């Protein structure tokens, strides 16, 4: 198998991709907390890890991609109370909307999409194990993780223990043995309408333990790639790693892979992180309404996944023009093998992906392939382009070379009828109409046939 390297956040280095079982590569990518409709920034990890799965499959690996949905979280209680709806109803609505919105991107679904509410027994079992080994303690119905019992805590995020803030605010602060400890379980509180029974009392799990339990249940421990946005490195992923190691004595994942944030240009011209606190949010569904899935995928692919990516109308317009350029080129191709002269572009495309999944560099090679294909004086086979687009989830841009649309076939038949009736003016008019659609009629061995206009 060709060498693939990926950047690992924990070691801060490019690591050779050496899965425990090439036929069963496991990827877990943290998904959204479903308290509101997702914004376009939430789609970046969805796109990156869906494409990574396609690429690794292209390289000959068998891949299971797990993309979770966090449907137990403080934010959901807060949003549900504000909206005056039960929290489980809000979470279900928003999980459904997330599924519908991401479906429209056109990359398919992850192999498993666990919801935290479906894994509460696994979560309770994992917390019990941490209590049994003294890595956790109960305080007034809450359960907290003893951070200082873990050697190497802070290794993933490279933070100094003394500078850390778990982001849990004042809540439970007086119950913690150490301010560094974080919640595995929160006791039921007045106003919370969803809760579960556990041996230490009624309540609900914390966010970090949910992911540890779901990932282990579906992929086992020491699976191949744990992914998510770079904003999740601390505390979320640091805590996932610590809990699982404390409970199982083995690392949760081999490679930690993080995508950069989507940034919006602010009025001052400076990039700022896209989050719910910024006023200029664009819903994923709004962006898809405006440009469609292929353009959005091209936009995300235009940057290296680890870098921040600026979101602007101009960048979207660039992606739209690129999609058009690919579609136009695809229309001029014929099915079948591509000429050897174009091979180096195709090979460079896959080499770029093998080197830390560099989609930006891969796209540059794809555009080089198109440029040379357009210049070719011979007809060019489409196989290379189809292979490259498939891996990025852009096979939809090839649809034009699958054959003429029904409308063009009808026009061609009407034109034949006009010619048979010697109505040359009508035949010419239909020919022009076909040409406007990108098709011409040519005489083939089996009579007239439609071919793409070049």
Report the site for Zn ion in 204-263 (rule: CB under 5 A).
Answer: 211
Query: How many residues in the chain?
Result: 454
Q: 345: annotated binding-site residue?
A: no
113 token code pair: 């999409």
Token output for 11: 């070691």
- The DSSP letter of residue 85 is S
Among 30, 218, 225, 427, binds Zn ion (CB under 5 A): 30
The least distance separating Zn ion from the CB of residue 285, rounded to whole angstroms, comes to 23
Q: How far is the CB of 30 from Zn ion (least distance, A)?
A: 3
In the complex, minimum distance from the CB of residue 238 to Zn ion, in angstroms, rounded to a whole number: 11
Only segment of 23-31, 39-47, 87-95, 262-270 that touches Zn ion (CB under 5 A)? 23-31
Q: Is 176 annotated as a binding residue?
A: no
Residue linked to tokens 């001052």: 268
Q: How far is the CB of 256 from Zn ion (least distance, A)?
A: 12
* Inter-CA distances, 15 with 10, 47, 249, Å: 11, 22, 22
Looking at beta carbons only, is 9 or 365 nearer to Zn ion? Answer: 9
| Contact call for residue 69 and Zn ion (CB under 5 A) | no
Nearer to Zn ion, 69 or 296 (CB): 69
User: Using CA atoms, how far apart are residues 344 and 351, in angstroms rounded to an integer?
Assistant: 10
Distance CA 283, CA 39 (A): 4
Shortest distance in whole angstroms from residue 84 CB to Zn ion: 29
For Zn ion (CB under 5 A), the number of binding residues is: 2
- The answer to whether 216 touches 209, Cβ cutoff 8 Å, is no
Subset of 142-171 contacting Zn ion (CB under 5 A): none
Binding mask 182-211 toward Zn ion (x if CB under 5 A, else -) reads -----------------------------x
Contact 409, 402 (CB under 8 A): no
For residues 118 and 4, give the distance between their C-alpha atoms in angstroms, rounded to a whole number.
Answer: 35
Helix (H, G, I), strand (E, B) or coil at 367: helix
Return d(Cα 391, Cα 397) in angstroms, integer.
12
The least distance separating Zn ion from the CB of residue 156, rounded to whole angstroms, comes to 13
Helix axes 313-331, 284-301, angle to 10 degrees: 60
Ligand-binding annotation for 39, yes or no, is no
Q: Does 116 help bind Zn ion (rule: CB under 5 A)?
A: no
Is 162 a known ligand-binding residue? no
Q: Binding site for Zn(2+): which residues? A: 30, 211, 236, 240
Q: For binding to Zn ion (CB under 5 A), which residues are involved?
A: 30, 211
Q: Binding site for ATP: which residues? A: 276
């Amino acid at each position: 198998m060709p060498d693939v390297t990926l950047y690992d956040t924990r070691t801060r280095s490019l690591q050779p991709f050496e899965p425990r079982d090439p036929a069963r590569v496991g990827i877990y990518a943290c998904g959204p907390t479903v308290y509101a409709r997702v914004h376009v920034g939430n789609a970046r990890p969805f796109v990156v890890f869906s494409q990574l799965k396609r690429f690794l499959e292209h390289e000959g690996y068998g891949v299971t991609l797990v993309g979770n949905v966090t449907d137990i979280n403080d934010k959901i209680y807060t949003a549900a109370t504000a909206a005056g709806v039960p929290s489980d109803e809000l979470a279900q609505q928003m999980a459904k909307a997330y599924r519908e919105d991401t479906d429209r991107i056109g990359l398919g679904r992850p192999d498993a999409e666990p919801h935290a509410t479906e894994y509460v027994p696994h979560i309770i079992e994992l917390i019990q194990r941490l209590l049994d080994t003294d890595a956790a303690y109960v305080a007034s119905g809450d359960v907290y993780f003893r951070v200082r019992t873990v050697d190497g805590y802070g290794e993933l995020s490279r933070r100094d223990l003394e500078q850390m803030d778990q982001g849990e605010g004042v809540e439970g602060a007086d119950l913690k043995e150490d301010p560094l400890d974080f919640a595995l379980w929160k006791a039921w509180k007045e106003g919370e309408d969803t809760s579960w029974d556990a041996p230490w009392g009624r309540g609900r799990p914390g966010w970090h333990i949910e992911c540890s339990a779901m990932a282990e249940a579906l992929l086992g421990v020491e699976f191949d790639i744990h992914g998510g946005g770079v904003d999740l490195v601390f505390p979320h992923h640091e805590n996932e790693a610590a809990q699982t190691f404390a409970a199982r004595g083995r690392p949760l994942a081999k490679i930690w892979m993080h995508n950069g944030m989507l940034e919006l240009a602010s009025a001052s011209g400076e990039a700022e992180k896209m989050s719910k606190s910024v006023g200029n949010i664009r819903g994923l569904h709004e962006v898809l309404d405006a440009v469609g899935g292929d353009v959005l995928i091209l936009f995300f692919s235009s940057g290296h996944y680890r870098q921040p990516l600026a979101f602007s109308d101009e960048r979207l317009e660039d992606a739209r023009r690129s999609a058009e350029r690919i579609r136009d080129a695809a229309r001029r191709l014929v099915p079948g093998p591509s000429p050897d002269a174009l091979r180096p572009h195709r090979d460079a495309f896959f080499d770029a992906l093998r080197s830390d999944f560099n989609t930006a560099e891969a796209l540059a090679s794809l555009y080089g392939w198109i440029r040379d294909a357009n210049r070719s004086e011979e007809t060019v086979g489409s196989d290379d382009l189809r292979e490259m687009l498939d891996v990025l989830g852009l096979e939809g841009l090839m649809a034009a070379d699958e054959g003429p649309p029904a409308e063009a076939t009808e026009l061609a038949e009407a034109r034949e009828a006009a010619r048979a009736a010697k109505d040359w003016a009508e035949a010419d008019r239909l020919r022009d109409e076909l040409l406007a659609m990108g098709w011409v009629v040519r005489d083939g061995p089996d009579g007239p046939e439609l071919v793409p206009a070049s």
